[in-house]
Amino acid sequence: MPASLRKSLVILGVVVLLAVLALGGYAVVRARAAGGGAAQDLAEAPPVSSAAPGVGTAPQYERWVVGKATGPVIVRRRPSSAAAVKTRLGVRNQNGYPTLVLVDRVKRVGDATWYLVYVAMRPNGSKGWVKEGSLAFYTTSAKIVIDLSERTLRTYRRGELRGEYPVAVGRPGLETPTGSFFVNQKLKPPQPGGPYGVLAIGISAFQPKLPGWVQGGPVAIHGTNEPWLIGKAISHGCVRMRNKDILAVDKVVPAGSPVVIQE
């Protein structure tokens, strides 16, 4: 393929991705799940394309672009191969789940395309630049919004409210962190009747006050074996739901989707 044609196609791909990102603001979430392990089953991430997703007719609702690692991912502090490395990611995370990032924006630098992505690492809200070649992409129109004062979780898809559920949140001193994050994994606990219930939806956030916890104190939305505590401020920062409710959320919100936690 002539170099000029290849360059034109690459630029077109960047323009398409920018159009996708422009369809929605950018929002993502936080919650905490201690103790996810290799013994847990995985709820796989959606299928992906090797190219940036196309747009077609622009929908009248928000969409976000999710990157899935197809090989080792180097996250740098600036969009340059000479920039300092912020972190390195594998194809799968420490729980064996496919490594996901949420794309914030894209930038063309010389002959390379770079993606500014949100990463599941401390401190909360961390992001860095990833060069083209190690990510495949898909889009999501779903998101989760958690209101801590109301102790309510709401799901949205294609701009429409799909569900509203009561939740338990972090107790005083270990409050559920607020901010914008994304669903970075879905794990099925080995014991559905245990403290994490039937499913743990991991979030790209950490409990700031528990850095010494397993895996650095990650946050999650998960089921429970104590449904009578729903509606209370009782957890270490995780968001607890009734088992039937988190299964309903799982059906609407794919991995990679943004989550917003607000006061």
Q: Of the residues 130, 201, 205, 238, which is catalytic?
A: 238
Look at residue 253 and tell me whether its pLDDT is greater than 70. Answer: yes
What is the value of pTM for the model shown?
Answer: 0.80
Structure tokens at 145: 């919004």
- Per-residue pLDDT, 52: 55
CATH 2.60.40.3710 assigned to domain 142-262? The reply is no
Residues sharing a CB contact under 8 Å with residue 208, sequence separation 6 or more, in sequence order: 123, 124, 177, 217
Torsion of CA 235, 257, 118, 147, to 10 degrees: -40
Q: Cβ-count burial of 234 within 10 angstroms (0-12 exposed, 13-18 middle, 19+ buried)?
A: middle
Note if 236 is an active site residue.
no
How much is the mean pLDDT over the chain? 84
Q: Which of 56-60, 120-124, 246-250, 251-255 has the lowest mean pLDDT?
A: 56-60
Look at residue 121 and tell me whether its pLDDT is greater than 60. Answer: yes
For range 56-61, the mean pLDDT: 68
The structure tokens 């990032």 sit at 101
CA of residue 185 relative to chain centroid, distance: 7
- Render pLDDT for 133-179 as a digit per residue (tens, 0 to 9): 999 999 999 999 999 999 999 999 999 999 999 999 999 999 999 99
- Per-residue pLDDT, 47: 58
Structure tokens at 234: 């009782």
Domain-wise residue ranges, the chain: 3-24+46-140, 142-262
Give bridge partners of residue 218 from the DSSP assignment: 206
Minimal CA–CA distance to 248: which of 162, 141, 161? Answer: 162
Look at residue 88 and tell me whether its pLDDT is greater than 50. Answer: yes
* Confidence band, pLDDT 50/70/90 cuts, at residue 7: very low
Q: Of the residues 131, 222, 236, 242, which is catalytic?
A: 222
Q: Which of 21-35, 68-82, 152-166, 188-202 has the lowest mean pLDDT?
A: 21-35
State which fold the 3-24+46-140 domain adopts: SH3 type barrels. (2.30.30)
What whole-number percentage of the chain has pLDDT above 70? 78
CA distance 191 to 53: 38
Torsion of CA 155, 43, 59, 161, to 10 degrees: -10
- Render pLDDT for 163-221 as a digit per residue (tens, 0 to 9): 999 999 999 999 999 999 999 999 999 999 999 999 999 999 999 888 777 777 899 99
